[in-house]
Every structure is written in C-alpha cells, then in structure tokens.
Structure 1
Amino acid sequence: MKTYHVRKEDVVRSWWVVDAQGKTLGRLASQVARVLMGKHKPYYQPDVDCGDFVIVLNADKVVATGKKLEQKKYYFHSNYPGGLKERTLAWMLENKPEEVIRLAVKRMLPKNRLGHRMLKRLKVYRGSEHPHIAQQPKTLEVEA
C-alpha cells in the first residue's frame, strides 16, 4: 500500500464563520486553530498547508473565566529603552478585542512559515457583520 501525499493543488479550502458571543476565549481559539491548520480534514498532513478560512464575529463579547480579566497580562515592547508596555485582558477586550482573539489563535499555531500563512486566513470582527458574504461561509459550531 502506498502512502498518499497531499499536494497544495489538491487542497480544497472552504470558509467558516464562528460567533464568539458568550464563548470562552481559550476553547474558541483552540477550535479555530484546529480548522486553520486543517486537522478537521481526512487528508491532514502537518507539512502541507491544508487549512480553511475562518471568520470570527462578535470578538468583543468573548468571555474569560476566573480572575483572568485582572491577572492576565499582555506585554508589548516599542524597541526603545524602557519601552515595555503591559496591558490587562480587561483593557485589551475593551480597546482591541480583535487582537485578543488573534493572539490567542496565533500562539496555538505552528511557530514557522506555515503558521504565519495559516494566520493570514483568520478574519476577526467586533460586530456581527462581515464583508465575506460572497464566499458563502458555513457556520462552525464551537462548544462553550
């Protein structure tokens, strides 16, 4: 029996839409990362980019459990001396909710060129509207 190797020409990409309202941040991010990697497909291979496009709506209504709103910190550096900035999850959800979901998913993807290419297929929006109607996305059910 021969091993089947997927070529990038054979990959069929579909579009999925996820409503993040009331969903836990980590559980949502892990399932979105799974679809971006293509692990839900029967012909998944780790060295081939076979993932799909994912649209996340209502990013500002995502939920964090426990004391994460006050205790979880995001660190940024401006590359100047003393330029380390620190933001809490509560501040990030209020001001940059798209970035919270993007960072959570990014940190679950492979740390290589393939992971960067997968992250480009993630589209995150604050409200319930998105400009990708023409792609006819299917609804992806995410457990809370």
Structure 2
Amino acid sequence: MKKSTRYAKAGEVERNWVLIDAEGATLGRLATKAAMILRGKNKPQYTPNADTGDFVVIVNADKVVLTGNKADQKRYWRYSGYLGGLKFESFREAMAKHPERVIEHAVKGMLPKTTLGRAQGMKLKVYAGPEHPHAAQNPTQIDWRA
C-alpha cells in the first residue's frame, strides 16, 4: 500500500495566537522567530503554498536592541517616486518615532514576496508598550530565544 503525502487545506488549519515579549530581544533573532510562526514552519502540517501559520502579537517593541554599532549605522529609506524624494532615517530615529514599524519591516522582509506572504504579514500585530487589545484571543506566551 502506497502512502501519500498529506497537504494542509486553507480551511482546515487551526490558528493559534502567540505572544512574544520583545524586551531585550535582538531584532533579527526576534524577527526570524516571528516569521517562522507566521509561515507555520513550526507545525508538522506546514505546506509551502498554504497559509498554515499562527497569529503573532509582539509587545514592548520599543525595547528591542541591535548588536554592535548597528544602532548608529543602520538606515531605513523610502522613496516617494519624485525627484529628490529619497528620504533616510537612522535606526534610533525610527525607534523614537515608530518602533512598531521597525519590527514589522524586519519580519516582512523575511516573508515571501507573494500574495501568500502579504496575507501572512497581516497576522502580525506589533505594539510599542506592554498592553495589547488581543486578550480575548488568549495568546500563549513564548520565548523568542527558544
């Protein structure tokens, strides 16, 4: 009798909510953990072409750190499409203005650049402080180091 590979369908995936505390976390290591959970690579029914991932809530985004001199040297850029419309800001400036976007940028850079990747990125919720409005979903807290 031949065994066949089982693939997850879109409607039969059970989605959980995961809470990650980013206090003292290294940005890249936190982002890889969050991206793995968003894609569902931590589950046995992972299917590359289906969204099998969980929702991820990250709190204390304003307390994330970088190693070495990257806090001074790392720059984020955006381009308006017009001449002279290229704008830069350093990591420190970005953390002072909008620390949520720094983590979102790091995690979304680790997701696929497809419709599936954008759908997986929608399941990421980042908050600068320790409070979040997703208590009703009863998220399970995990350690980003594990």
TM-score, normalised with respect to structure 1: 0.98
Query: Shift of the alpha carbon at 1:80?
Result: 1.6
* Cα root mean square deviation, aligned: 0.9
Partner-residue secondary structure (3-state), 1:86 = strand
Q: 2:10 corresponds to which residue?
A: 8
Uncovered stretches (5+) of structure 2, i.e. residues with no partner: none
Query: Shift of the alpha carbon at 1:78?
Result: 1.6
Aligned length: 144
Equivalent position to 1:58, from 60, 69, 79: 60
Whole-angstrom CA distance in 1 between matches of 2:82 and 2:36: 36
Q: 1:34 corresponds to which residue?
A: 36
Whole-angstrom CA distance in 1 between matches of 2:104 and 2:15: 20
Whole-angstrom CA distance in 2 between matches of 1:115 and 1:9: 17
Uncovered stretches (5+) of structure 1, i.e. residues with no partner: none
TM-score, normalised with respect to structure 2: 0.96
Whole-angstrom CA distance in 1 between matches of 2:60 and 2:88: 24
2:102 maps to amino acid: V
Whole-angstrom CA distance in 2 between matches of 1:124 and 1:17: 10
- 1:135 corresponds to 2:142: no
Identity level (%): 49
Whole-angstrom CA distance in 2 between matches of 1:140 and 1:113: 28
What per-residue deviation string (whole Å, max 9, x for no partner) do you get for residues 99-131 of structure 1?
000000000001100000000000000110000
Whole-angstrom CA distance in 2 between matches of 1:133 and 1:49: 23
Partner-residue secondary structure (3-state), 2:18 = strand
- 1:88 corresponds to 2:99: no
Query: Shift of the alpha carbon at 1:94?
Result: 1.1
After TM superposition, the runs of 4+ consecutive aligned structure 1 residues lying more than 3 A away are none
Whole-angstrom CA distance in 2 between matches of 1:42 and 1:120: 22
Query: Shift of the alpha carbon at 1:76?
Result: 0.5
What per-residue deviation string (whole Å, max 9, x for no partner) do you get for residues 62-116 of structure 1?
0111111111110111222110000111111111100000000000001100000
Q: 2:113 corresponds to which residue?
A: 111
